[in-house]
A = this chain, B = another copy of it.
Amino acid sequence: MRVLGVDPGLTRCGIGVVEGVAGRPLTMLGVGVVRTPPDGDLGSRLVAVEQGIEAWLDEHRPERVAVERVFSQHNVRTVMGTAQASAVAVLCASRRGIPVALHTPSEVKAAVTGSGRADKAQVGAMVTRLLRLAAMPKPADAADALALAICHIWRAPATSRLQQAEAAARAARPARLPGGGTTVRKVIP
């Protein structure tokens, strides 16, 4: 499976492409950052992010795109830019029919380091080791994008098993009554 990870941002949008399957050594196919000038107007920055991501999709033709899920807990201004850059990434992939998965920062950290509260240095160190790189990818946004791609490859089998289990549970669930209640079957021994 070839996955393009995106750590969304307007000033620095990290991109990392990883190929492999869970349980086997992974290969990095590319890593980089799409940058736009902080003093540029929003429109030209979004257009530059779109052009950058399109170029990466053209070059690597990933089967999946993994984007960091944005939360609003942090700095308001930063979060707006992140949400807008992530929208562009999701749009570019979906327009091509490439399935998009969103992973939270703690899911990504837990996947590559074993801890959902790992710091940037720890994530960077594990990405370097897992992809057998000579040096840690810089800046952190680039390393984070690779971590997202690794997370997606490793979580894919679990996600698929979960979806199967949910589908099986839906099929086995007792029929809902019109009033919104469910049929309850009491098992009398």
Which A residues form the contact surface with B (CB < 8 A)?
41-44, 46-47, 50, 70-72, 76, 79-80, 83-88, 90-91, 93-95, 99-100, 102
Contact of A94 among B46, B71, B80, B91 (CB under 8 A): B46
Measured between beta carbons, the chain B residues less than 8 angstroms from A72 are 72, 76, 79-80
Query: Which residue of B is nearest A80, CB measured?
Result: B83
Contact of A95 among B41, B47, B94, B100 (CB under 8 A): B47
Q: How far is the CA of A83 from the CA of B87 in the complex (A)?
A: 8
Q: How many copies does the complex hold?
A: 2
Q: How far is the CA of A100 from the CA of B42 in the complex (A)?
A: 9
Query: Which residue of B is nearest A91, CB measured?
Result: B46
Contact of A91 among B76, B79, B88 (CB under 8 A): B88
Measured between beta carbons, the chain B residues less than 8 angstroms from A80 are 70, 72, 83
Contact of A47 among B46, B85, B91 (CB under 8 A): B91
Measured between beta carbons, the chain B residues less than 8 angstroms from A86 are 84
